[in-house]
């Protein structure tokens, strides 16, 4: 902004000039915000632990948002890809979490989450750092780890995701977040570059409750969708015709409309690629078992969930664990 060549002729004139300059500064900062430019104070140092199918894309999106990402994984290939995406890579978790503002984890199960946090993160990351565990784990472990972290002077949220590998890469995941209001507010700014939605589910552990309920419902929907598609074909109705009808009527659901499990019908999905990629049946079984454990702990009756668990258990036992969970269609 250029300085005015006009001089101030009195107190009123000076005050007017000050107000004009202040208005110009506010307009400039609003323009910077609207143009998508990242303000320096918004940039954070973030450790990302766990760079698998989901974590790799998530970490890359944090880099794209302008954050300084320090990454760790046991896989050399995963570390190499993270480095290609602009992450600083490290050979150990304590090294990655040193001097960061936040730690994000995406790990396979509750036992590993507890081991990593208690042995390599708590006491190694700076006091006051924010922890965000995006893993899908049991509610009890999520609450236990958060309690240990908070007792040691950290803030923590559980923030499991929905959306799969494609959404992780595209930055369009849905995060269901459990934690205190203040912690959620700070976590939201970190999660948004990876998300299409960031929803506060409630207190610590609520994110995991939401995830187990959501995926139990998804498994039930998928099995029902597969059964209906198979029945339509065996009863003499063209499956594509059934799709056109049901996807526009009361049979509408995400598994049918957006992730059709029959090859060559409806929406593109792993079914069109031999059920490779997508969301592995073994992971769906893991989530269903977490839901059954949660149901038992809450005294809830979930007969459809129990039946879905048995179906996926048998499918995984028969060797289908690596296939997308829509491959249940092949058993019908």
Provide, rounded to the nearest whole percent, the portion of the chain with pLDDT above 90. 86
Q: pLDDT grade, residue 42 (50/70/90)?
A: confident
- The count of other CB atoms within 10 Å of the CB of residue 263 is 17
- Confidence at residue 13, expressed as pLDDT on a 0 to 100 scale: 46
Q: Write the DSSP string, 122-163.
A: TTTSPTT-EEEE-S---HHHHHHHHHHHHHTT-EEEE--EES
Question: 50 to each of 109, 173, 249, 313, how far by Cα in Å?
Answer: 11, 17, 41, 26
Q: What is the reported pLDDT for 51?
A: 98
Q: Please indicate, yes or no, whether the overall pTM of this predicted structure exceeds 0.75.
A: yes
Q: Cβ neighbours of residue 113 under 8 Å, at least 6 residues apart?
A: 105, 107, 133, 135, 137, 141, 142, 145
Contacts of 196 (CB under 8 A, 6+ apart): 163, 167, 171, 172, 173, 174
Is the predicted pLDDT of residue 36 greater than 80, yes or no?
A: no
Three-state DSSP class for 12?
helix
What is the percent of the chain with per-residue pLDDT over 70, rounded to a whole number?
Answer: 88
Residue 11's pLDDT band (boundaries 50, 70, 90)? very low
- Which pLDDT value is given to residue 38? 40
Stretch 189-201: mean pLDDT, rounded? 98
- What 8-state DSSP symbol labels residue 253? -
Number of neighbouring beta carbons within 10 Å of residue 65: 19
pLDDT in tens, 233-278: 999 999 999 999 999 999 999 999 999 999 999 999 999 999 998 9
| Predicted pLDDT at 1 | 40
pLDDT of residue 18: 46
State phi, psi for 174 to the nearest 5 degrees. Answer: -105, 125
- Given 211, 234, 286, 323, which residue is catalytic? 211
Q: Is the pLDDT of residue 8 over 50?
A: no
* 248 noted as active-site residue: no
Tens digits of per-residue pLDDT, 306-320?
999 999 999 999 999
Q: CA-CA distance, 76 to 93, in Å (whole number)?
A: 14
Q: What is the mean pLDDT of the chain?
A: 90
């Amino acid at each position: 902004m250029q300085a005015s060549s006009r001089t101030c002729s009195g107190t009123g004139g000076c005050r007017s000039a000050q107000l004009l300059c202040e208005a110009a500064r506010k307009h400039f900062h609003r323009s910077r915000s609207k143009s998508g430019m990242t303000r320096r104070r918004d940039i954070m140092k973030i450790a990302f632990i766990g760079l698998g199918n989901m974590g790799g894309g998530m970490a890359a999106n944090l880099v794209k948002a302008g954050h300084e990402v320090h990454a760790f994984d046991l896989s050399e290939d995963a570390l190499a890809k993270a480095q290609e995406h602009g992450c600083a890579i490290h050979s150990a978790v304590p090294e990655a979490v040193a001097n960061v503002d936040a730690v994000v984890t995406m790990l396979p199960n509750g036992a590993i989450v507890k081991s990593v946090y208690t042995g390599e993160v708590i006491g190694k990351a700076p006091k006051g750092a924010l922890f965000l565990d995006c893993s899908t784990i049991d509610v009890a472990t999520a609450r236990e780890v958060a309690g240990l972290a908070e007792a040691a002077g950290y803030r923590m949220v559980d923030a499991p995701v929905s959306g799969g590998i494609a959404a992780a890469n595209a930055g369009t995941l849905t995060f269901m977040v459990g934690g205190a209001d203040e912690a959620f507010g700070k976590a939201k700014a970190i999660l948004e570059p990876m998300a299409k939605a960031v929803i506060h589910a409630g207190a610590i552990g609520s994110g995991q409750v939401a995830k187990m309920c959501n995926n139990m419902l998804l498994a039930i929907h998928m099995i029902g969708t597969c059964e209906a598609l198979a029945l339509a074909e065996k009863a003499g109705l063209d499956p594509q015709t059934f799709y056109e009808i049901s996807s526009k009527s009361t049979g509408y659901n995400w598994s049918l409309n957006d992730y059709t499990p029959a090859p060559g019908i409806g929406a593109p999905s792993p079914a069109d690629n031999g059920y490779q990629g997508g969301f592995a049946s073994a992971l769906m079984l893991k989530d269903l078992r977490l839901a059954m454990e949660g149901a038992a702990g809450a005294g809830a009756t979930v007969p459809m969930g129990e039946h879905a668990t048995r179906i996926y258990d048998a499918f995984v036992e028969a060797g289908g664990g690596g296939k997308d969970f829509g491959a249940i269609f092949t058993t019908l």
